[in-house]
Amino acid sequence: MQSHQICGDGPRTSEILLHLEIYRAVPEAKAVIHCHPPYATAHALAGLVPQGNLLPGHEVFNGPVALTPYETPGTIEFARTVLPVVKQHNTILLENHGVVCWADTVTHAEWCVEVIETYCKTVMLAGQLRSPLKGIPSNKMADLLGIKQKLGLPDARYSAARDLVGEEFSDGLRGADLEPTHKTRSPEEIDRFINSLAAQVADFFTGMHGQQS
C-alpha cells in the first residue's frame, strides 16, 4: 500500500498510484480496473457524462458516473483526482484519458467496465434515433435504488435522494434504509438479479421497436 514492490520481477502498471489511492480511500474496493474502452473514453474526451436513468442494468451496477479533471498520467496528482468522488462512484471517467472502475472482485469490476462501455455506446446510438431520450420514471428509479442498496453497491443518491429528484422520488424511498450495506451477495442471488434485469431490458427495447413501427 506504500507503493513498494515486495515480490516478483514483472513491472507494475504505470498507473499503480491510481490503484493504490482507490484502495486506501475505499476499504470495500478489492479490485480496480483502469482501461481505455472507445465509447466510454469518447465521453471522457468530450468531458461529457452520459445521460442517466435510462437503463436498469447501468443504474444498478454503475449508477451516476463521475468525471475527473485531466492530470498527467502516472503522477500522484493524476491518482488523486479521483479522491473527491471515488467513495460514492464505482465508475469514473478520466478526462482525456479513459475510465476506472472498482468493486469487491475483479469479475465485478470488469462487469462495471463492460456496463459503462456498452451504456455509452447505446446512449450514443439511441440519441441518433430520438432526442431527448425518455428516462425511467422517478418512482421506478426508487425501486432500482432499493434493489441496489440491498446488493450493497455504492451510489451517490442514497443520502441525497430527496434533494436530487424531489418529493415524488422521496415518497418511494420513505422508510427505507438508504445507507449502502456493502454486503456480499451470493452468486445465485446475483445471477437471478441479472436475469431479471436482462428481461427488463429486452422488454424495453421490444417496446421501443413497437412504438417506432
In the chain, where the domains are located? 14-136
Task: Kindly report the average pLDDT of the chain as a whole number.
Answer: 84
Residue 83: the pLDDT is: 98
The CATH number given to 14-136 is: 3.40.225.10
When mean pLDDT is compared across 24-33, 139-148, 155-164, 196-205, the lowest value belongs to 155-164
177: confidence class by pLDDT, cuts 50, 70, 90: very low
The mean per-residue pLDDT over the stretch 53-77 comes to: 96
Please give the pLDDT value at position 194: 76
DSSP string, 152-180: T---TTTTTHHHHH-HHHHHHHTTS--S-
Q: In the prediction, which pLDDT does 103 show?
A: 95
Q: How far apart are CA 79 and CA 93, in angstroms?
A: 13
Higher pLDDT, 172 or 140: 140
